[in-house]
Structure 1
Amino acid sequence: MFNQTEEMNSLLDLMRVQNRYIHELSKLIYSAASDMSLANNREFTEFVTHFAEFTRYHYNSEGYSQATQLIQAYNYILLEQLLDSQVLAAAEQMELSIGHLEMTVRETQFRLHPQMILLNHGILLMEETQLKIIEKLETLLANSHPAPQLQN
């Protein structure tokens, strides 16, 4: 049980790091959106849309994780639902947002745009953190897998 608590705390720490990344990238997005050439760019708009969905899923999964920790419900089914319904959905939205950001950066006028360079770097850090979150959840799932019931 102690190891599981330690793993859950490690997972929550990663999610807090992800919160800081989200906060900083949100400020960059807000600033970048004031540039009309970016604000009117379809790929950038799609990036913002998917990034917003990613953050919604992320915040839902973090709240769920904290509640899980507080009540110590290290239950295989709950963790599996968290992984399936929130964390993986967040990762999908992040991947979609990354694809649109990459399309935006491919356009010559935005390639060296300072905010695009920062957004690109920040989103890559977030992607790495999201992968670590998924790995931690998978480890928790593996360690909390219910023991098979033996028949008499």
Structure 2
Amino acid sequence: MELQDFHLAPCQGAEFSDVLSLIQLQNSYINKIYKLIYLLNHDLAVATSSEFQEFSVHFNTFAQRQASSEGFGQAIDAVKVYHYVLLEKLLDSQVLAAAEQLEMAAGHLDLIARNPKLRINPQVLLLNQSISLLEENQLKIMENLEALLIGSRQKHLQN
């Protein structure tokens, strides 16, 4: 099936607007988490922890892959989606790989939070909470995009 065989059909504005809001919220979380990581890099008790270093590597990889995703880069400035191909790009391999890195980063952060010396650090607590919120947001984005993509495909097949 060729791309020219597809008809342009506007996506439901409110549904896609919700996804855009979640993406913007995600970017806000990422920026706040980077600020916390910066502060924690100055705390030798945390910064020298191998788990914190592993967390930082995976979180940084998550953020880089998320930012390099063609769909997410285009969607932040988009108002409407006219073709489900763009929805598929929003769930491209970079986004899925980013989600895996975020999960691995959260696992390492969980190990840091179990360390009695490190878990009382207020920035570690805040970072742990922020990562949990980011994970929830990432899951909502992916679920909403999958639902939009399925809906878009069904509409296309009916045409």
**CA drift at 1:139:** 1.1
| Equivalent residue, structure 1, for 2:83 | 74
Root-mean-square deviation (CA), in Å?
2.1
Q: Which runs of 5+ in 2 are unaligned?
A: 1-8
| TM-score (ref. length: structure 2) | 0.82
TM-score (norm 1): 0.86
Structure 1 runs not aligned, ≥5 long: none
Alignment of 1:13-92 (within 5 A): 13-61=21-69, 62-66=72-76, 69=78, 72-75=81-84, 77-92=85-100
Compare relative contact order (CA 8 Å, sep 6+) and give the higher one, 1 or 2: 1
SS in 2 for 1:110: coil
Q: Is the 8 A contact 2:11 2:152 kept in 1?
A: no
Q: Note the C-alpha offset of 1:129.
A: 0.5
Runs of 4+ in 1 over 3 A off after TM superposition: 69-73
Q: Distance in 1 between matches of 2:143 and 2:22?
A: 11
> Secondary structure at the residue paired with 1:108?
coil
Percent identity between the aligned chains?
A: 43
Equivalent position SS for 1:109: coil
Q: In the alignment, what sits opposite 1:135?
A: 143
- Which residue number in structure 1 is paired with residue 109 of structure 2? 101
Shift of 1:78: 3.8
Task: Summarize the Cα distance change of 1:60–1:70 in structure 2 as closer, same or farther, 3 Å threshold.
Answer: farther
Structure 1 residue 97, shift from structure 2 partner: 0.3
Equivalent pairs counted in the alignment come to: 147
Q: For the residues of structure 2 that align with 1:148 and 1:15, how far apart are their CA atoms?
A: 30
Change (3 A) 1:20 1:13: same
